């Protein structure tokens, strides 16, 4: 079905509905991996088509901005990280966690923070979740499968997805997973992640977050945070 829809134009909304229904029916993660493989193969081909038009710079990796990419695929059925977060993952998260289940954007936020999930208040279990990881919720497992699929295609995840992964890990108390993603630079340096790490360090008093915040702030030259 995915192969057929991706060959047609203006079928993105239908693919989104299929994915949203799948989140409710909860198929196995292998099924998700196969679906993401099909989706991201088409996404990778679109990226390559754009990079081939750009002048090559020896010794430098060619990158494509998300805005440029989405302008090119606007009438295609391909889904970018922004589409997946804004139309699939974040609305489903709200259905799970908010009474109304209505899609919401953070007031006044732009870019990667439009779909920000606020850090919840610490609970008595929160202090234990670093050393004793809890089981991963289904939605987080699916998001991680999508992230792995992108990396397997050698697609660096846009910070819209990276920030969403950070937020949802903290919301579901998966700090052990988050630490690994930050430590091994799966989540790449950005000012948005510096702000999130700072909040975790201050509100949760997490030494790992303090060190990661300082290291990342130094690399992105957020000198006010380092000070």
State the pLDDT confidence band at 212, using cuts at 50, 70 and 90: very high
**pLDDT of amino acid 224:** 86
Which one is predicted more confidently, 99 or 199?
Answer: 199
**pLDDT of amino acid 190:** 94
pLDDT at 1 over 80: no
**pLDDT of amino acid 220:** 93
pLDDT at 51 over 90: no
> Model's pTM, two decimal places?
0.86
End-to-end Cα distance, the chain: 53
**pLDDT of amino acid 150:** 97
In tens, the pLDDT along 179-210 reads: 999 999 999 999 999 999 999 999 999 999 99
State the pLDDT confidence band at 10, using cuts at 50, 70 and 90: confident
State the pLDDT confidence band at 54, using cuts at 50, 70 and 90: low
pLDDT at 136 over 90: no
Cβ-based burial of 75 (10 A; exposed 0-12, middle 13-18, buried ≥19):
exposed
**pLDDT of amino acid 167:** 97
**pLDDT of amino acid 112:** 63
- What residues have CB less than 8 Å from 14, skipping those under 6 apart? 5, 77
**What average pLDDT does the structure give for the chain?**
85
C-alpha to C-alpha distance for 212 and 207, rounded to whole angstroms = 9
**pLDDT of amino acid 204:** 94
In tens, the pLDDT along 57-79 reads: 555 555 677 777 777 777 788 89
């Amino acid at each position: 079905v995915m192969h057929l829809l991706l060959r047609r134009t203006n079928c993105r909304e239908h693919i989104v509905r299929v994915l949203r229904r799948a989140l409710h029916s909860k198929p196995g993660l292998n099924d998700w991996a196969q679906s993401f493989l099909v989706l991201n193969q088409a996404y990778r081909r679109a990226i390559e088509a754009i990079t081939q038009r750009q002048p090559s710079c020896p010794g430098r990796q060619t990158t494509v901005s998300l805005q440029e990419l989405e302008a090119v695929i606007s009438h295609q059925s391909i889904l970018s990280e922004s589409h997946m977060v804004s139309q699939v993952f974040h609305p489903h998260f709200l259905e799970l966690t908010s009474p109304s289940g209505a899609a919401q954007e953070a007031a006044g936020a732009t870019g990667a923070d439009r779909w920000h999930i606020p850090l919840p208040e610490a609970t008595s279990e929160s202090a234990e979740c670093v050393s004793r990881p809890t089981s991963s919720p289904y939605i987080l497992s699916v998001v991680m499968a999508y992230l792995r699929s992108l990396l397997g295609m050698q697609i660096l995840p846009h910070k819209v997805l990276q920030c969403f992964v950070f937020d949802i890990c903290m919301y579901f108390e998966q700090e052990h997973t988050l630490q690994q993603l930050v430590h091994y630079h799966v989540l790449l340096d950005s000012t948005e992640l510096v702000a999130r790490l700072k909040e975790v360090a201050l509100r949760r008093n997490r030494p790992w977050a303090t060190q990661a915040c300082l290291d990342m702030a130094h690399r992105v030259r957020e000198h006010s945070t380092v000070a």
